[in-house]
């Protein structure tokens, strides 16, 4: 067993505390990563707070992991000791269903195995996440970080990046597509960067007036404040909207921004659902859709695309010892635009 140190919540809504546990030894096709940086996603906070009702404790969150390969199993052929590699939201899937065969592991018929917050299939062994010193993962579920990428700016790409890139690709956003991004947080600020790099006409929709000028710097052509009179000026103008908001909000108002046949794609996972008057959909044949994460091959594509276009997250790096301060500030919407924890003190 591999002794590991990390930070765990011991109960719902509890502060994270130093926590020791063990990772299993490497299998033939697995790699051992010494974790260097790990992003703090709002999903980590939802899980710590048990917003979705299935969090196990002790819970070591973290699923935007970048680290250095320390060891590889004898049948590993994609990584060598010393490489910089990364792990995102999932660490396994059934590998044989139609989704896995199509590179859509995130929609695996058996459900993908999450990077933290569950149990190893067929056992009672908890799976702990990236707020820790190391991780053991099958090479299929690790990706290579392109040379020269800043590690902290790269880490959030592993969840926030792929979660926004995948639907932009699926809904064929390209040159000239009018796209809206609702919520300028970890996901939203990367959605703006990716959509812009794909050639879209980007409208940012924020609840924080103070973020409007940032949104333009991030690549949006225009930025408006949700719930304000700005909204009516953009009614019926967008083909596609990505909604990344982490809390309850007015979804119907976002639908009104769509043209005929437009799609509102939900990415946020607030704990309660939403209500939409059907009339707001039917009168212009609009759709509400959802999307989660992205497949492994697509995650590597996204990283390569990010490297070519110079895309990384705007980050505030914090030592892992200050994780509770980072969580408290994220809950207050006080970060521009992603906290990344420096875990190197744990790996030493
Ligand atoms: P985040 O950094 O906290 O960003 C969320 C943004 O939502 C905030 O920056 C804020 O943007 C807006 N917002 C927050 N509270 C609001 C409120 N009460 N009313 C209106 N707007 C509000 O969170 P994140 O890490 O980007 O994650 C966003 C959501 O996506 C979370 O629910 C997370 O669990 C989910 N998620 C889903 C997937 C997936 O695969 N589908 C993957 C990762 C995360 P403004 O200040 O601009 O309004
Ligand atoms: Zn996430």
Banded pLDDT at 31 (limits 50, 70, 90): very high
**Minimal-distance CA residue to ligand 1 atom 13:** 245
The pLDDT of 237-247, averaged and rounded, is 98
CA of 169 from ligand 1 middle (Å) equals 20
Residue 174 has pLDDT above 60, yes or no: yes
CA-proximal residue: ligand 1, atom 18 (nearest): 247
- Strand 84-87 with 90-92, pairing: unpaired
Q: What pLDDT is attached to residue 347?
A: 66
Q: What is the CATH number of domain 161-290?
A: 3.40.50.720
Give residue ranges with CB within 6 A of ligand 1: 41-43, 46, 159-160, 163, 183-188, 206-208, 211, 244-247, 249, 267-270, 292-293, 330, 333
**pLDDT attached to residue 123:** 84
Q: What is the pLDDT of residue 60?
A: 98
Residue 190 pairs in a beta bridge with none
Tell me the pLDDT tens digit for each residue of 81-110: 999 999 999 999 999 999 999 999 999 999
Ligand 1 centroid to Cα of residue 329, in Å, is: 13
Please give the Cα distance from 132 to 33 (Å, whole number). 11
**Residues 288-298 pLDDT 10s:** 999 999 999 99
What's the CATH fold of domain 2-158+312-347? Quinone Oxidoreductase; Chain A, domain 1 (3.90.180)
Taking residues 121-143, report their average pLDDT.
95
pLDDT at 304: 98
Residues 6+ apart with CB under 8 A from 69: 31, 32, 33, 34, 79, 80, 81, 82, 83, 84, 85
For 229, the enclosing helix (H) or strand (E) is none
Confidence of residue 122 (pLDDT cuts 50, 70, 90): confident
pLDDT in tens, 308-319: 999 999 999 999
- 85 neighbors 142 (Cβ within 8 angstroms): yes
CA–CA distance, 162 with 252 (Å, rounded to integer):
26
Block residue for tokens 């996901």: 187
- Out of 39, 40, 42, mutate this one to test ligand 1's pocket (max ligand atoms within 8 Å of CB): namely 42
pLDDT higher than threshold 90 for residue 120: no
- Environment of ion ligand 2 (residues, CB < 5 A): 41, 43, 159
Task: Report which bound ligand comes closest to the CA of 47.
Answer: 1
Q: What is the DSSP string of 236-304?
A: T-EEEEEE--SS---HHHHHTTEEEEEEEEE----SS-----THHHHTTT-EEEE-----HHHHHHHHH
Atom of ligand 1 lying closest to residue 245 CA: 7
Pairing mode, if any, of strands 178-182 and 238-243?
A: parallel
Q: What does the angle CA 348 – CA 132 – CA 63 come to, to the nearest 5 degrees?
A: 135
Whether the CB-CB separation of 60 and 128 falls below 8 Å is answered with yes
**CA 161 / ligand 2 centre spacing (Å):** 9
Average pLDDT of 14-18?
A: 97
CA–centroid distance, 229 to ligand 2, in Å, is 32
119: which residues sit within 8 A by CB, 6+ positions away? Answer: 56, 125, 126, 127
Report whether pLDDT(348) > 90. Answer: no
| Domain positions in the chain | 2-158+312-347, 161-290
Q: How high is the pLDDT of residue 124? A: 86
d(CA 212, CA 205): 8
pLDDT at 121: 79
**Confidence (pLDDT) at 59:** 98
Give the chain's mean pLDDT: 97
Helices (H), 181-242: 186-197, 212-218, 230-233
Tens digits of per-residue pLDDT, 39-62?
Answer: 999 999 999 999 999 999 999 999
Instruction: Give pLDDT, residue 96.
Output: 97
- Average pLDDT over every residue of 126-151: 97
The answer to whether 2-158+312-347 and 161-290 have equal CATH topology is no
């Amino acid at each position: 067993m591999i002794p590991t140190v990390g930070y765990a919540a011991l109960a719902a809504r509890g502060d994270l505390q130093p926590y020791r546990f063990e990772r299993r030894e490497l299998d033939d096709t697995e790699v051992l990563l010494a974790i260097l940086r790990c992003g703090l996603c709002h999903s980590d906070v939802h899980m710590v707070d048990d917003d979705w009702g299935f969090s196990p404790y002790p819970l070591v969150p973290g699923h935007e992991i970048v680290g250095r390969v320390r060891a590889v199993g004898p049948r590993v052929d994609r990584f060598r000791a010393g490489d910089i590699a990364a792990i995102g939201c999932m660490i396994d899937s059934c590998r044989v269903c139609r989704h896995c065969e199509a590179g859509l592991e995130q929609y695996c018929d058996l459900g993908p195995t999450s990077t933290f917050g569950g149990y190893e299939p067929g056992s009672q062994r908890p799976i702990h996440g990236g707020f820790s010193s190391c991780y053991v993962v099958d090479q299929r579920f690790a990706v290579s970080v392109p040379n020269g990428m800043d590690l902290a700016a790269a880490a959030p790409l592993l969840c926030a990046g792929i979660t926004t890139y995948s639907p932009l690709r699926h809904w064929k956003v390209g040159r000239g597509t009018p796209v809206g991004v609702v919520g300028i947080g970890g996901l939203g600020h990367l959605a703006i960067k990716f959509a812009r790099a794909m050639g879209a006409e980007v409208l940012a929709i924020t609840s924080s007036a103070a973020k409007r000028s940032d949104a333009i710097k991030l690549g949006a052509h225009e930025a408006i404040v949700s719930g304000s009179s700005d909204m009516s000026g953009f009614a019926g103008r967008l083909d596609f909207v990505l909604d990344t908001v982490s809390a309850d909000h007015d979804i119907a108002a976002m639908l009104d921004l769509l043209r005929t046949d437009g799609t509102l794609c939900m990415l946020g996972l607030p704990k309660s659902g939403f209500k939409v008057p059907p009339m707001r959909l039917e009168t212009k044949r609009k759709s509400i859709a959802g999307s989660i994460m992205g497949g492994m091959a697509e995650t590597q594509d996204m990283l390569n695309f990010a490297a070519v276009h110079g895309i990384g997250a705007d980050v505030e790096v914090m030592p892992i010892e200050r994780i509770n301060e980072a969580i408290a500030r994220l809950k207050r919407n006080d970060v521009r635009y992603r906290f990344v924890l420096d875990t190197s003190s744990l790996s030493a």
